[in-house]
Amino acid sequence: MDDTGWIDRFIRHLEFERRLSPLTCENYRRDLKTLAAWCEKSGVGSWDDLNSEHVRAYSASCFRKGLSARSIQRRLSASRTFFRYLMREKKVEKNPITSVSAPKGKKRLPGNLDADRMARLLAIPGDGAIIDRDRAILELLYSSGLRLAELVDLNIGDVDMHDATVHVTGKGNKDRVVPVGRQALKALRQWSITRSDLADADEKAMFVSNRGTRISSRSVQARVKHWAKKQGIDANVYPHLFRHSFATHVLESSHDLRGVQELLGHANISTTQVYTHLDFQHLAQIYDQTHPRARKKNDT
């Protein structure tokens, strides 16, 4: 194509105007480069030549290559956002992605660890700066339901030990304040004592690597898998699993969907509702016991 430079302009727009994370911007770039490569191969000369039939053919080619419905949906979503930007910049007159739907895939329910296995995972033995750091990371992920990127981006001042809260900057640069549990606070206090054994003198990051600088997402993933294996957890454990477990366990106890939505920082409650299936049987029992049209006569 002769105008792929628009992708670079769009990515700068995401970085500096919408202030999206570097990882999100890189995902957009990769998906749009894939679309541009398909256009080049298919003889589509520029973005204003792309129409809905082209987009359907592109979606079909992705499907034939074995991409999941979810991956195709992500690619089309990135393209749809890109074309909204092109319309704003008067590069194109219409958005050819709007009328195209990706194939529907099976809805995957989020996994989670039950409370007993989570307690076993968090019972990390030993001491020292690395262990103190890892214990604080795992406790905070579960205690506050943070996303991996949110945890990695934390600075020292974001955790208020006195108020037992953590200030988080989530998706779309949206801020929220989340409670921190007693065990997580204990782990964070211990980490604050030994953090200077690892951290560079002027490093602001809450969690650092053994090189003294801000820990990477990949390192956190590796440490989570390390401790899951060491603690004998028979499941695929990854950082986001702590968030799923957090949401599930809080919802099971509180039955407050709106509250869980606020804690997770979900913009739309439909995103949070995926957790309701996990405790449906218990909710059904509450319904039977409390609803006027469901209670048995001898219960009144």
With CA atoms as reference, report the closest residue to 177 among 269, 265, 241. Answer: 265
More confident residue, 254 or 168: 168
CA dist 239 to 113, 138, 153, 234, Å? 12, 8, 14, 15
Of the listed 171, 176, 225, 255, which one is catalytic? 171
How much is the pLDDT for 254? 57
Instruction: List, in order of start, the domains of the chain with CATH numbers.
Output: 5-88 (1.10.150), 115-238 (1.10.443.10)
Between CA 169 and CA 172 the distance in angstroms is 8
CA 154, 271, 168: angle at the middle one, nearest 5?
15
How much is the pLDDT for 105? 62
Active-site residue 41, yes or no?
A: no
With CA atoms as reference, report the closest residue to 29 among 70, 20, 54. Answer: 20
Residue range 140-158: mean pLDDT, rounded: 92
List, for residues 78-100, the tens digit of each pLDDT value: 999 999 999 999 999 999 999 88
Between CA 176 and CA 155 the distance in angstroms is 15
Active-site residue 243, yes or no?
A: yes
Residues sharing a CB contact under 8 Å with residue 262, sequence separation 6 or more, in sequence order: 176
How much is the pLDDT for 278? 45
CA dist 52 to 55, 93, 100, Å? 5, 13, 7
User: How confident is the prediction for the chain on average, in pLDDT?
Assistant: 85
**Does residue 38 surpass a pLDDT of 70?**
yes
Give the pLDDT band of residue 108 (cuts 50, 70, 90). Answer: low
List, for residues 190-223, the tens digit of each pLDDT value: 999 999 999 998 999 999 999 999 999 999 999 9
Query: 208-240: b or e for each residue (b if 16 or more CB lie within 10 Å)?
Result: bbeeeebbeeebbeebbeebbeebebeeebbbb
**Does residue 296 surpass a pLDDT of 60?**
no
Active-site residue 266, yes or no?
A: yes
Between CA 118 and CA 139 the distance in angstroms is 10
Active-site residue 85, yes or no?
A: no
Of the listed 54, 147, 214, 249, which one is catalytic? 147
**Does residue 143 surpass a pLDDT of 90?**
no
Active-site residue 147, yes or no?
A: yes
At residue 165, the 3 state secondary structure works out as strand
**Does residue 175 surpass a pLDDT of 90?**
no
Residue range 89-115: mean pLDDT, rounded: 79
Between CA 236 and CA 246 the distance in angstroms is 16
**Does residue 276 surpass a pLDDT of 60?**
no
Of the listed 54, 75, 243, 249, which one is catalytic? 243
Of the listed 56, 176, 225, 240, which one is catalytic? 240
Active-site residue 277, yes or no?
A: no
How much is the pLDDT for 274? 54
**Does residue 299 surpass a pLDDT of 50?**
no
CA 55, 58, 60: angle at the middle one, nearest 5?
110
List, for residues 249-273, the tens digit of each pLDDT value: 676 655 555 655 666 655 555 554 5
Tell me, what amino acid is at 68? S
Unique residue bearing structure tokens 């809260």? 165
